[in-house]
Amino acid sequence: MKIVVIGNGMVGFKFCEKLISRSPHGFEITVFGEEFRPAYDRVHLSEYFAGKPMEELILVPEPWYTENHIRLHLGDPVKSIDRLTKTIVSLKGVSMSYDILVLSTGSAAMVPPIHGVDKKGVFIYRSIEDLDLIREYSVKARKAAVLGGGLLGLEAAKAMIDLGIKKTHVIEFASRLMPRQLDEAGAAILKSKLVSLGLSIHTNKHTYKVLGEEIVSGLQFADESELSIDMLVISAGIKARDELATDCGLATGAKGGFVVNDQMQTSDPSIYAIGECASHKDFIYGLVAPGYEMAEVLVTNICKERDAKSISSPKSFTGFDMSTKLKLIGIDVASFGDPFITGEKVRTILFEDKINSIYKRLNISSDGKHLIGGILVGEASQYNLLLQHCKNKMILPPDPENLILSQAGGKKESGSGLDALPEEALICSCEGISKGEIYRAVDEAGCESVDAIKKCTRAGTGCGGCVPMMKDLMVFTMKQKGKYIRNIVCEHFSYSRQELYDLVKIHDLKTFDAVLDQLGKGDGCEICKPVISSVLASLWNEMILSKGGDTAQDSNDRFLANIQKGGTYSVVPRIPGGEITPEKLIVIGQVAQKYKLYTKITGGQRIDLFGAHLSDLPLIWEELIHAGFESGHAYGKALRTVKSCVGSTWCRYGLHDSVSYAIRVEERYRGLRAPHKLKSAVSGCIRECAEARSKDFGIIATEKGWNLFVCGNGGSKPQHAVLLASDIDSETCIRYIDRFLMFYISTADPLTRTAPWLNKMEGGIDYLRNVVVNDSLDMAAQWEKEMQVLVDSYECEWKAAIGNPEIRKRFNHFVNAPAEKDPTVQFEEFRGQKIPADRNRLPVEK
């Protein structure tokens, strides 16, 4: 299908970008742009004067178009459209047929009919070329005027300041600045602030005439007053670029622009218009966000139409919220919902601080429940919160004025440490979701499950690392509201992980299916399956892939390797304590060479081999096991590594042999499955070179024995391990670790590492010490016995896997072509090794 896009502005580009991301090879796309540069960020145009290089404003460099097979004709505007033959002709004479024509011609500056606007020294403020002309001319200008006190006009005024113009005047026809966004009081505050920055603001001014011979020398207004200036910049609004409509007879709106319906279709069903050139319900949207939304609607519908099987309904553009927040010359200005509404059905809350130039207005429904709109000048940090209230019709708190007053003096409540985090603390860094947003998802939008929060905020939908914290925050928030929480695993099991652990043990259940039959309902899912599998492994330590256990494992556990970008796997053999013979090092090198693997030293003193095909995994492990290696469990929620410093055998400071002790600890707990991964380290002296205090359990040598630290984590929220016991001997230390680990395994929530587990424990480290060291629960003997059973039943999973033909069969990519590898796996050369080729270029569908 051939798509021709006319216009390479922000919206036209966004259309292409979205279309490519949905269907990289589905369409033949050609773009014509009038300007000589590929699409750039017009919103931040004034930063060009502030010194931002042009390259940083360009949205994507030209090669992007080639890489995505888009033909780009720059500096070649389309001159005519023949709707009968569905062909366009460009200025340079390129003729091209289309199946779908997308008009994204944007807008031009509106030049009001004023006498003498054609004089030298009069400019418009629209494109980079305009800016270059302004810059060139401004060198000899001392006094400038900007015609237009709206959003764009003030942007232009900012540009004048950046160019070093001594005196800049802003001329506005209306009675106030930003008449579309601000009320009189808000505009007055903004004006006073701008005046204090050196601008002259003239409102209620009807410009009549540009004075001067050939060159502008001043302005004359309708009230006959005059203003002497050296240059004039017109930024008084936009008009849609709809010239193409005239010749081919496309319908245009009363205020210009191609008339479009809710699907962005013009009066010709094969022609669409998006962005500032479209007239939707007689409205021209002069902001970029609605333009992007139009692009989204069009892309969705084009893709749906082509994929005839799709049953979902087409998307519609039903108008767009014109709420905006921006920084104007360092001043925050925001306007949302209906900022001006008055009358019986509305109550208005006003806050005005003339000393600090702050103005806030909230329009609230007369029942006090909903926010209808508002204005913020000078301070707009609550904009997102307010906008969310307004857009989502959230019920307002009883004292809504608190929403615009500073949030000092909030009530404190002790808890899991989550309350200590500031509102704006980022919980989900993939999606940029703050603690406050999650809190509000629970508190105001009524999300009472992690899935609901995910849908509401998108938090946790990227890497998923923040999900436990999200859950804690949800539980914490609900508890604060006095709600009863059942901390259940998912819809299939109405139990917490701790309850499941106990029930599986009491009922002596050995497989996921048995657990589901006895304790759950439905088919299970990607949440409960790994949880139950982990519980089963922690309790019985049977080979995890046996008895149909493979498909109840997380993908990494299912294939005993870590899935990586592109669908290959990485392999980590265990290297206890980080000690390895040269012979074994050579074997790793030879295996990596033979199977063409990328090698990297890990943070845990091991070697990771990347880029293994699924079907090569058993072959690789056969060779590694033959050389005396065993699984490193890097793929499992299990003990990973016990790092060590070189210790007293070599180090002149070493107190004890940390390497030997690390090997002993690692070999004791290897393969131990837990709610999350476990890391450990042993340092031979107080210098702590093994970084033991960043581990789940860390051991540091003292003159008299070992200090045992527990519940340390690295990761996104680092936390030092805390001292559990000091100056203990090696045997006692192992016994304490046995108890500590069994306590953790039997009680922690899924995917909760030891640090957050401790943080949530009532009584904290003192309670934990009482349980582990003083045996206050009378569990020590049982836990030590249970741990010994697990230690004694350890077997290398890979050794078991390669010896079992049924399991080995699962390591083929194609069920019906076992000898073939995944042909879509591709690599490229990088610093002498291989890395996955860019998957974005992978053909997705035929």
Partner 1 sequence: MSYPENTISVNNLKWFRACNTSDAVANGGVCVKYGEEQIALFYFTRRNAWFASQNVCPHKQQMALSRGIIGSEGDEPKIACPFHKRSFSLVDGHCMNDDTCQDIKTYPVRVENDQVYIGFEIIENVSG
Using CB under 8 A, pick the residue from 65, 501, 559, 783 that binds partner 1.
Answer: 559
Q: Is there binding between residue 551 and partner 1 (CB under 8 A)? A: yes
Distance (Å, rounded) from C-alpha 286 to C-alpha 106? 9
Distance (Å, rounded) from C-alpha 201 to C-alpha 170? 5
**Residue 251 or residue 303: which is nearer to partner 1 going by CB?**
303
Q: Is there binding between residue 846 and partner 1 (CB under 8 A)? A: yes
Q: How far is the CB of 292 from partner 1 (least distance, A)?
A: 13
Residues 502-531 that bind partner 1 (CB under 8 A): 513, 516, 522-526, 528-530
Q: How far is the CB of 492 from partner 1 (least distance, A)?
A: 8
Strands 607-612 and 569-571: antiparallel
Give the other-Cβ count within 10 Å of 71's Cβ.
14
Q: Is there binding between residue 825 and partner 1 (CB under 8 A)? A: yes
Distance (Å, rounded) from C-alpha 495 to C-alpha 521? 12
Q: Is there binding between residue 550 and partner 1 (CB under 8 A)? A: yes
254 contacts 262 by C-beta, under 8 angstroms: no
As given in the structure block, the two tokens for residue 256 are: 């210009």
As given in the structure block, the two tokens for residue 514 are: 């048995």
Q: How far is the CB of 819 from partner 1 (least distance, A)?
A: 11
Helix (H) or strand (E) holding 185: helix 184-196
**Residue 491 or residue 542: which is nearer to partner 1 going by CB?**
491
Using CB under 8 A, pick the residue from 44, 120, 507, 565 that binds partner 1.
Answer: 565
**Residue 81 or residue 527: which is nearer to partner 1 going by CB?**
527
As given in the structure block, the two tokens for residue 497 are: 């992980």
Q: Is there binding between residue 618 and partner 1 (CB under 8 A)? A: no
User: In a 3-state reduction of DSSP, which class is residue 502?
Assistant: helix
Q: How far is the CB of 121 from partner 1 (least distance, A)?
A: 48
Q: How long a stretch of residues is the chain?
A: 846
**Residue 116 or residue 567: which is nearer to partner 1 going by CB?**
567
**Residue 480 or residue 812: which is nearer to partner 1 going by CB?**
812
**Is the Cα torsion angle 33, 39, 45, 47 positive or negative in sign?**
negative
- Binding residue count for partner 1, defined by CB under 8 A: 54
Q: What is the distance in angstroms between the CA of the first residue and the CA of the last residue of the chain?
A: 13
Nearest to 462 by CA among 430, 429, 425, 426: 430
**Residue 342 or residue 551: which is nearer to partner 1 going by CB?**
551
Task: Output the CA–CA distances (angstroms, integers) from residue 668 to 158, 615, 681, 787, in the order listed.
Answer: 68, 31, 14, 9
CA dihedral 358, 359, 364, 366 (to 10 degrees): 120
**Is the Cα torsion angle 335, 337, 342, 347 positive or negative in sign?**
negative
Using CB under 8 A, pick the residue from 310, 366, 590, 716 that binds partner 1.
Answer: 310
Strands 722-728 and 569-571: unpaired
Tell me which stretch binds partner 1 (CB under 8 A): 145-153, 369-377, 454-462, 664-672: 454-462
Q: Is there binding between residue 22 and partner 1 (CB under 8 A)? A: yes
**Residue 348 or residue 826: which is nearer to partner 1 going by CB?**
826
Tell me which stretch binds partner 1 (CB under 8 A): 78-86, 232-240, 244-252, 814-822: 814-822
- Which residue type sits at 223? D
Q: Is there binding between residue 820 and partner 1 (CB under 8 A)? A: yes
**Residue 15 or residue 40: which is nearer to partner 1 going by CB?**
15
As given in the structure block, the two tokens for residue 407 are: 């949030």
User: In a 3-state reduction of DSSP, which class is residue 228?
Assistant: strand
Using CB under 8 A, pick the residue from 815, 828, 829, 831 that binds partner 1.
Answer: 815
Using CB under 8 A, pick the residue from 61, 464, 763, 764 that binds partner 1.
Answer: 464
Q: Where are the alpha helices (DSSP H) in 524-657?
A: 528-540, 555-558, 582-594, 617-626
**Residue 18 or residue 633: which is nearer to partner 1 going by CB?**
18
Using CB under 8 A, pick the residue from 360, 370, 471, 558 that binds partner 1.
Answer: 558
* b/e 349-372 (16+ beta carbons within 10 angstroms → b): beeeeeeebbbbbbbbeeeeebbb
Residues 102-131 that bind partner 1 (CB under 8 A): none
Q: How far is the CB of 436 from partner 1 (least distance, A)?
A: 22
Using CB under 8 A, pick the residue from 817, 829, 831, 832 that binds partner 1.
Answer: 817
**Residue 344 or residue 523: which is nearer to partner 1 going by CB?**
523
Task: Tell me phi and psi for residue 607, to 5 degrees.
Answer: -125, 130
Residues 393-452 that bind partner 1 (CB under 8 A): 451
Q: Is there binding between residue 309 and partner 1 (CB under 8 A)? A: yes
**Residue 197 or residue 525: which is nearer to partner 1 going by CB?**
525
Distance (Å, rounded) from C-alpha 823 to C-alpha 194? 62
Nearest to 806 by CA among 546, 536, 562: 546
**Residue 543 or residue 711: which is nearer to partner 1 going by CB?**
543
Q: How far is the CB of 619 from partner 1 (least distance, A)?
A: 19
Q: How far is the CB of 368 from partner 1 (least distance, A)?
A: 32
844 contacts 24 by C-beta, under 8 angstroms: yes
221 contacts 206 by C-beta, under 8 angstroms: yes
**Residue 566 or residue 684: which is nearer to partner 1 going by CB?**
566
Task: Tell me phi and psi for residue 785, to 5 degrees.
Answer: -65, -45
Tell me which stretch binds partner 1 (CB under 8 A): 547-555, 572-580, 589-597, 658-666: 547-555
Which residues form the interface with partner 1 (CB under 8 A)?
22, 309-312, 451, 454-455, 458, 461-464, 491-492, 513, 516, 522-526, 528-530, 548, 550-552, 554-556, 558-559, 563, 565-567, 810, 813-817, 820, 822, 824-825, 839-840, 842, 844-846
